[in-house]
Amino acid sequence: YEPLTVSIGCSFNCINAFEKELKAIDDAILRTVKGLNPTEYQVLNSVPGIGKVYASGILAEIGTIKCFKNNDALAKYCGIVWKE
């Protein structure tokens, strides 16, 4: 059973290392986005289902909501078609 135990132990070590790296990347993204657009980041992050990473990605893609004259312009940019 020793090879199996060692293999499982190594797998757990790898998982822990990846989790630490992922946390470091998430923290770096969060610091960057909060410095650029803190209010819009906070609003996006308050939407259920949109976490830190998605909020950061949205802001990285659109920059600021102020670039769009209205909701329809943002929807068109995103490829969303509003149905009546």
* 72 or 81, which is more confident: 72
Average pLDDT on 18-44 reads 86
Residue 60 in domain: yes
73-82 residues labelled b (16+ CB within 10 A) or e (exposed): eeeeeeeeee
For residue 82, pLDDT over 90 is answered with no
SS (H, E, C) the chain: CHHHHHHHHHHHHHHHHHHHHHHHHHHHHHHHHHHHCHHHHHHHHCCCCCCHHHHHHHHHHHCCHHHCCCHHHHHHHHCCCCCC
Q: Would you place residue 79 in the very low, low, confident or very high pLDDT band (cuts 50, 70, 90)?
A: confident
Residue 49 in domain: yes
Residue 83 in domain: no
What is the value of pTM for the model shown?
0.59
Average pLDDT on 9-29 reads 92
For residue 46, pLDDT over 80 is answered with yes
For residue 8, pLDDT over 90 is answered with yes
Residue 70 in domain: yes
| Averaged pLDDT of the chain | 87
Q: How many domains does the chain have?
A: 1
- pLDDT in the model for residue 21: 95
Domain range for 36: 2-78
